[in-house]
Amino acid sequence: MLSKKNLKSKIFAGALAFTLLVGNFGNKPLDNVSASGKSDINGKAPKYVFYFIGDGLGAAQRQAAEYYVQETTKNKDFKLNINNLPSVGINTTHSLNSLVTDSAAAGTALATGNKTNNGVIAKTPDGKDVTTLIEEAERNGKATGIVTTTRLTHATPASFASHNISRNNENEIALDYLDSGVDFFAGGGARHFLPQGWVDAMPSIGKSKRTDDRNLLSEFDDQGYKVFYGAEQSDSFRNYKPSEQEKVFAAFTGSHMPYEIDRMQNNNVPSLAEITDKAIETLSKDEDGFFLMVEGGRIDHAGHANDLTGVIHDVVAFDKAVKEAIDFYQEHKDETLIVVVGDHETGGMGLGFGKNYFLKLDQLKDVKVSVEDTLQNVYNGNREEYIKYIQDNFGLKDLTQEELKELNKAMDIVDKGQKDEKTYGSYNPVAIATTHILSKRANAYWTTFAHSATQIPMSAIGVNAQAFEGFKDNTEIAKTMAEIMDFKLTEIKKAK
Ligand SMILES: [Zn+2]
């Protein structure tokens, strides 16, 4: 007869054997297996693939943007395109060394199917390069594109076409792009492609950040790319009509592209939708089809700055870019796949605050500027002037005594040259005090100036879109994409 102890160890051994038999059961969900037991992936690989990544696009960000449009247009039936796709899933985002990922580790997961440490770009933590979906698309003869509203060398785009132990090595990442074969680059960040000490012919670019004399824009040009740089060349980009098989490199700003809320004021650089449209027009000339990654990169930055309106307008701009892909899908239904993901949530954005049941997003309708790029630069010591400014440009009229107290507290800190990063992050305290006042009025509030570990929504449409459904880790998104495309992501190339 079995003693209790023996029984326990038998059960343990049995469980162990079962685990060995079926593999790493705890970490391997039964992906791509439908109720009938058959793989969800079937038929030919899609010819055209869109991979949309909203940086910092969590569930709250998606819903705030949708409700905002509903409230401000009085159209209660309004749906964001990204919230209206037929296949839906939920993703976990943790990195290898933290439950709260950064965009490098999250980008690496989404681009390569590998977990890595925060800060690492398309490498394992010990420095081995891992293959990216864009590299595999290249190897399979597809046209490829990388579009973003951040610097092109920023973590998310970098994860698709470069390998680096640190996301901060943006000059090295820029060099990787030269050898990447990617056919269409567009975004910001010209400062990492121009030679050191470069004398500025384009006021919108500013100073180079390179520490060598290489002019990568000229090198792209030598490789046959059609090069656009600076906001000054936005219209020639807009009017550009690609002929057969052309390559494009466009960097409209020195650093990031403007926040959508600032961009809307003068339209001086193309919107994410305009760029996506141009990418489709250019890449669809390749008869092997294309793989296009489009990042809404500044949703994240607005979240960091706890800028509710900034988040909303960048989500709406991202959604309009997705609409361009949906329009293309309507013409090529049997050959197109569109996958929309976030890489993590930013800000710990909560749609509800205090002890009530309200969300008042109409409070945001008179906001005309971003917190980080614009509002942050306004306060100059003149309190009256600042209060007038936020009345006119930040929708804050009739400040209460309590709100004025919050503002004055922040102004005291700035006037004395002090810091309080716990309360205001690394931003200007007056700007953060202002955005927090507005968030409180809207009843949406924040838990962090960094990222959060919350699950995030995924949505998809098109060929094999159903394979992305369900509760998945972010690495499974890349793996599922690879399986659909018959790409091989397991290859580890020689470390550089
Ligand atoms: Zn971030």
254-278 pLDDT per residue, tens: 999 999 999 999 999 999 999 999 9
Axis-axis angle for helices 474-485, 103-112 (nearest 10): 30
- Give the chain's mean pLDDT: 92
Span from the CA of 218 to the centroid of ligand 1 (angstroms): 31
Alpha carbon of 56 to ligand 1 centroid (Å): 6
Q: How many whole angstroms from 39 Cα to the centroid of ligand 1? A: 35
If one compares 113 and 31, the residue with the highest pLDDT of the two is 113
Reported as type and span, the H/E element at residue 180 is none
pLDDT of 27 > 60? The answer is no
Give the confidence band of 243 by pLDDT, cuts at 50, 70, 90.
Answer: confident
Maximal CA-CA distance, the chain: 88
The residue-averaged pLDDT of 401-424 equals 97
Ligand 1 centre to CA of 307 (Å) is 13
**Does residue 23 register a pLDDT over 70?**
no
Say how many Å lie between the CA of residue 452 and the centre of ligand 1.
10
Cβ-Cβ contacts under 8 Å for 270 (sequence gap 6 or more):
234, 237, 238, 252, 278
Q: How far is 37 from 93, CA to CA, in rounded Å?
A: 27
CA of 443 to the centre of ligand 1 (A): 23
| Residue 235 neighbours by CB distance under 10 Å | 12
Q: How far is the CA of 156 from the centre of ligand 1 (A)?
A: 10
Q: Give the mean model confidence (pLDDT) for residues 139-158.
A: 98
Q: What is the pLDDT of residue 200?
A: 67
Summarised one tens digit per residue, pLDDT across range 424-479 is: 999 999 999 999 999 999 999 999 999 999 999 999 999 999 999 999 999 999 99
pLDDT number for residue 61: 98
Confidence check: pLDDT of 311 > 70: yes
How do 48-54 and 87-92 pair as beta strands? unpaired
Please give the average per-residue pLDDT across 397-409, as a whole number: 98
Cα 33 to ligand 1 centre (Å): 33
pLDDT value of residue 261: 98
Residues having C-beta closer than 5 Å to ion ligand 1: 300
Distance 247 CA to ligand 1 centre (A): 30
- The Å distance, Cα 300 to ligand 1 centre, comes to 5
Instruction: Show the tokens assigned to 356.
Output: 């009530």
Predicted pLDDT at 495: 46
- Give the Å distance between the CA of 103 and the centre of ligand 1: 6
CA of 64 to the centre of ligand 1 (A): 18
Local confidence band at 493 (pLDDT 50, 70, 90 cut-offs): low
Q: What is the pLDDT of residue 492?
A: 59
- Given a cut of 70, whether residue 176 has pLDDT beyond it is yes
Please provide residue 404's backbone torsions phi and psi, each rounded to the nearest 5 degrees: -60, -40
For residues 292 and 50, the answer to whether their CB atoms sit within 8 Å is yes
Q: Mean per-residue pLDDT for 358-371? A: 97
Determine whether 8 is exposed, middle or buried from the number of CB atoms within 10 Å of its CB (0-12, 13-18, 19+): exposed
Q: How many Å apart are CA 206 and CA 208, to the nearest integer? A: 7
C-alpha to C-alpha distance for 215 and 178, rounded to whole angstroms = 11
Ligand 1 centre from 392 Cα, in Å? Answer: 29
Alpha carbon of 453 to ligand 1 centroid (Å): 12
pLDDT of residue 199 exceeding 80, the answer is: no
Distance (Å) from CA 209 to ligand 1 centroid: 21
CA of 123 to the centre of ligand 1 (A): 19
Ligand 1: centre distance to CA 155 (Å): 9
Is pLDDT at 37 greater than 60 in this prediction? no
- Whether the Cβ atoms of residue 373 and residue 464 lie closer than 8 Å to each other: no
Q: How far is the CA of 58 from the centre of ligand 1 (A)?
A: 12
Q: How far is the CA of 281 from the centre of ligand 1 (A)?
A: 30
Ligand 1 centroid to 439 CA: how many Å? 19
Torsion over CA: 421, 422, 424, 427 (sign): positive
297 Cα: distance to centroid of ligand 1 (angstroms):
9
**What spacing in Å lies between the alpha carbon of 304 and ligand 1's midpoint?**
6
Q: Tell me the CA–centroid distance for residue 351 and ligand 1, in Å.
A: 20
Distance 305 CA to ligand 1 centre (A): 10
Residues whose CB falls within 8 Å of the CB of residue 452, separated by 6 or more in sequence, listed in order? 58, 100, 344, 345, 346, 347, 348
- 449 vs 8, higher pLDDT: 449
List domains and CATH numbers for the chain. Answer: 48-349+450-493 (3.40.720.10), 350-445 (1.10.60)
Using the predicted structure, report yes or no on whether residue 123 has a pLDDT greater than 50. yes
Instruction: Check residue 206 and give its pLDDT.
Output: 87
Distance (Å) from CA 231 to ligand 1 centroid: 25
Rounded to an integer, what distance in angstroms lies between the CA atom of residue 414 and that of residue 445? 23
> According to the model, what pLDDT value does residue 39 have?
57
CA of 106 to the centre of ligand 1 (A): 10
The pLDDT of residue 150 is above 70 = yes
